[in-house]
């Protein structure tokens, strides 16, 4: 059975910023489940989600949080599945704090991270991880890349034609 993505957010206030992640997963036909779980407000819930994720068929975890965002690190502490942080734009530091919390993990328990507010890329990256063992997802990713390249070629032609008409 195809592996799924577990998309966890630290608060329901993160939901809107995560929309591009689940939309991207849907566009690629990747199954996902969402959960709200906070590393500091509901640590037992995070622990339970992390420890059961592999047996439930998840292949990658996207952990979205803002502020001093330890959600991804705590997930990684309790599972050997790949964990990708999605730093949320929030508060005085606008997401820089969440980004640094993710990318500065001490050695031994790594997490990856997309950029601040990088939910769309989180969807693509999760799909890329699953594509290592799922040829159907790999084919859909390849098709998307080709479509994207075609759009660049069309933009190139448009710009050239516009400038030629001046």
Q: Which residues bind to ligand RP5, rule: CB under 6 A? A: 10-11, 13-14, 38, 65-67, 88, 90
In angstroms, the CA 62 to CA 88 distance is 12
Nearer to ligand RP5 by C-beta: 38 or 121? 38
- Cβ atoms of 126 and 58 within 8 Å: the answer is no
Tokens 């098709």, residue located: 143
Where is 36: in which H helix or E strand? strand 32-36
Residue 64 or 141: the one with the smaller Cβ distance to ligand RP5 is 64
Q: Report d(CA 85, CA 80) in Å as an integer.
A: 15
Q: Which is nearer to ligand RP5, 83 or 141 (CB)?
A: 83
Q: Least distance (Å) from ligand RP5 to the CB of residue 50?
A: 16
**Least spacing, CB of residue 20 vs ligand RP5, in Å:** 16
- Give the nearest residue (CB) to ligand RP5: 10
């Amino acid at each position: 059975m195809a592996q799924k993505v577990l998309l966890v957010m630290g608060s329901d206030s993160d939901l809107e910023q995560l929309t591009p992640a689940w939309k991207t997963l849907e566009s690629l036909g990747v199954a996902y489940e969402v959960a709200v779980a906070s590393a500091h407000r509901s640590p037992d819930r995070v622990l339970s989600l992390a420890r059961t994720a592999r047996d439930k068929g998840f292949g990658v975890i996207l952990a979205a949080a803002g502020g001093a965002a330890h959600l991804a690190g705590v997930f990684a502490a309790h599972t050997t599945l790949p964990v990708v942080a999605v730093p949320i734009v929030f508060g005085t530091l606008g997401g820089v704090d969440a980004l640094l919390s993710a990318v500065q993990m001490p050695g031994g328990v790594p997490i990856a991270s997309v950029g601040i507010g990088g939910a769309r890329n989180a969807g693509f990256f999760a799909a890329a991880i699953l594509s290592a063992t799922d040829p159907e997802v790999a084919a859909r990713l390849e098709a998307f890349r080709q479509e994207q390249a075609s759009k660049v070629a069309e933009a190139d032609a448009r710009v050239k034609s516009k400038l030629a008409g001046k």
